[in-house]
Amino acid sequence: MSRRWGWWAAVVAALAAGCGDQEPGAFAPRGPDSRDLMVLFWVMTVAGGLIFVGVLVALVMSARGRRPGEGDDQVDRRSARLVVGGGILLPIVVLVPLTIGMLVVGNRISPRLDDAYEIRVRGHLFWWEVAYPEAGAVTANEIHVPTGTRVRLVMDTADVIHSVWVPQLAGKIDMIPGQETALTFTAEEPGVFLGQCAEFCGIQHARMRFLLVAHEPAAFEEWLANEASPAREPATEAAERGEATFVEVGCAACHQVRGTEAVGVVGPDLTHIASRRTLGAGILPNTRGQLGGWIADPQAVKPGNLMPPTPLTSQQLLDLLEYLEGLE
């Protein structure tokens, strides 16, 4: 294999490797909105390809000189046909349907003030705050929605520009300081869908994930009632010590645990942290070991984030973990 072919083979192999073993994305839509967007994408791509070919053909035709035996009249007619066909008819035939399709899809997926179920999502540097104002529930890095229901995420941001994107369910929308933005979509079936920040927002951009969890309506209500309730009482002695430690060592300065002395609002609400699937904005599974590692040294996991390492004795750490793991 020549050197050049070796280079191309490496590029293709790298691309193929990038395609395998990925989370399902926008090409595996699970809702009407993302399905509309995918159809629009393919129509645009095919139409764009046809336009490209059409322009190349017109270019070749226009570059051809006078054919043998052709008079001035014939050349003029050929030129006129080329201009009318390639310059007027082709754009009309292609662009008008594309514009109509774009307007129809844009209208169908655009958020409007209908009776959609409203969830508030606030962007923070390094994490997502998710609130259900009617129910009084607050959580982080997980957006739970009922299936078969039009949902509207109303978004603002504390200190950063993120772009919210759940490729399998909806398009993306920016969180803009000083402004509210909204995204509407419907999840058709229960499932857990990956969300990812789609706009560079600092050194942890690639680790700004979240989960969108769709439940059957009854299961959603159950989840919501639990999230809205105050924190569970510590069930063991170790958990009781953990609750005190949480305040003593400073966790409570930044984190809230509703129903306790911890009322910080800088970091995520931890009232029901044990019910969440991940830690650190979707980057670690929420297990005892990962939680311990995160508390001991969050900077090692997500460098630059606002949580400092907390100096703890091993007993304090174990007590804290016992406490936090009981906050279901």
205 binds ligand CUA (CB under 6 A): yes
Side-chain-side CA neighbours of 8 within 13 Å: the count stands at 5
Q: Which residues contact 169 (CB under 8 A, 6 or more apart)?
A: 29, 30, 31, 33, 34, 185, 186, 187, 193, 212
Binding-site member from 200, 222, 225, 233 for ligand CUA (CB under 6 A): 200
Q: Which is nearer to ligand CUA, 126 or 246 (CB)?
A: 126
209 binds ligand CUA (CB under 6 A): no
Binding-site member from 109, 183, 187, 197 for ligand CUA (CB under 6 A): 197
Binding-site member from 116, 137, 183, 201 for ligand CUA (CB under 6 A): 201
Q: Taking the complex as a whole, how short is the minimal distance between the CB of residue 106 and ligand CUA, in angstroms? A: 24
User: Using an 8 Å Cβ cutoff, are 277 and 317 in contact?
Assistant: no
| The two three-digit tokens of residue 164, written as one number | 């919210």
153 binds ligand CUA (CB under 6 A): no
Near ligand CUA by CB under 6 A, which window of 110-118, 186-194, 198-206, 292-300? 198-206
| Rg of the chain on CA atoms, in Å | 27
Q: Which is nearer to ligand CUA, 202 or 250 (CB)?
A: 202
199 binds ligand CUA (CB under 6 A): yes
DSSP lists the bridge partners of residue 138 as 131
208 binds ligand CUA (CB under 6 A): yes
Total residues binding ligand CUA (CB under 6 A): 7
7 binds ligand CUA (CB under 6 A): no
User: Using an 8 Å Cβ cutoff, are 43 and 101 in contact?
Assistant: yes
Would you tell me how many other CB atoms lie within 10 Å of the CB of residue 142? 20
Q: Which is nearer to ligand CUA, 51 or 198 (CB)?
A: 198
Near ligand CUA by CB under 6 A, which window of 58-66, 194-202, 231-239, 306-314? 194-202
Q: What share of the chain is helix, strand, coil (3-state, %, to 5)?
A: 45, 20, 35
281 binds ligand CUA (CB under 6 A): no
Q: Which is nearer to ligand CUA, 162 or 258 (CB)?
A: 162
Residue type, 311: P
162 binds ligand CUA (CB under 6 A): yes
Distance separating the N- and C-terminal Cα atoms of the chain: 60
| The two three-digit tokens of residue 63, written as one number | 């570059």
Q: Which is nearer to ligand CUA, 93 or 198 (CB)?
A: 198
Q: Which is nearer to ligand CUA, 125 or 284 (CB)?
A: 125
DSSP state of 273: G
Q: Which is nearer to ligand CUA, 175 or 291 (CB)?
A: 175
DSSP lists the bridge partners of residue 152 as 118, 184
Q: What is the largest CA-CA distance in the chain?
A: 103
Q: Which is nearer to ligand CUA, 180 or 237 (CB)?
A: 180
Reported as type and span, the H/E element at residue 322 is helix 314-325
Binding site for ligand CUA (CB under 6 A): 162, 197, 199-201, 205, 208
